[in-house]
Amino acid sequence: MVKFEVFNEVILMVTCTGGDQIFTRAGAWIGGDNYGARNFKFTKVMLGPQNNVAQALMGQFVRRMTGENIPLMKVELMGDSVTFYANRQQHVVVYQLNQGESIFVESENILAFSSQCAYDVRFMGQGVISQKGLATTKLTGNGPEAYAAVLVNGNPLVLSNVQTGNTITCDPDAVVCWTNSDPDIKLDVSWQNLIGQHSGESYMFEWDGSRRTTVIIQPQERPSGVSVSMD
């Protein structure tokens, strides 16, 4: 049994009772606390965390072909312990997934996830208009202890229309991850773009009330892949 919690904004704290295993970025562990001899160990994940070898091989192939590969390690927790994880002082957000709920996150933003998250890789294609990768990690809740910890550059903004049904829009270059429903891509291009008078916000992700989601956004944008102008 495990529980993920944010510890002082930039550190993930994982509390284990009895024993379990989690997956993290390779090298993300920074400390641990347990009674007696150390009762946790680390193993590099050679292919992927999927139980199916064929799926793991395909996921590894997709990652390498799209430049989205990230080294993962398995942490085996063999008893009661508290372990801590971090990456370059980036802020940490913990999301607990409901049964069957999915979160979509780029590999560079993954810090850790629990064993009750089903792991998959899929093509997205957003890289055509943004610096987000063509391959995105999908984590799906498969139990009451399905946790995902993601990394954010700066303090995160969290928007959700799950309860309200509101429309959510955001800059694709600032999005870290979202749950359940994929967004529509909205373009705002006019003649002004052609004479170099564009606003700088020529495209966006949009979830209307029929697409219920929670979106985590960071205050640091990636370099945009779009530049439509004429000097």
The answer to whether 33 touches 82, Cβ cutoff 8 Å, is yes
What are the CA-CA distances from residue 36 to residues 32, 80, 96, 118 (Å)?
Answer: 12, 10, 30, 32
Structural domains in the chain, CATH included, are: 2-154 (3.60.160.10)
Query: Which residues in 112-134 are b (16+ Cβ under 10 Å) and which e?
Result: bbbbbbbbbbeebebbebbebbb
pLDDT, position 168: 96
Chunk the chain into consecutive blocks of 10 residues (it has 231) and report each block's average pLDDT, rounded to whole numbers.
Answer: 96 97 96 96 76 53 54 94 97 96 90 94 56 70 96 95 94 90 75 48 83 94 53 34
pLDDT, position 89: 96
Residues forming beta bridges with residue 170, ordered by sequence position? 205
What are the CA-CA distances from residue 22 to residues 70, 120, 135, 143, 186 (Å)?
Answer: 16, 16, 22, 14, 37
Helix (H, G, I), strand (E, B) or coil at 16: strand
pLDDT, position 136: 78
pLDDT, position 204: 85
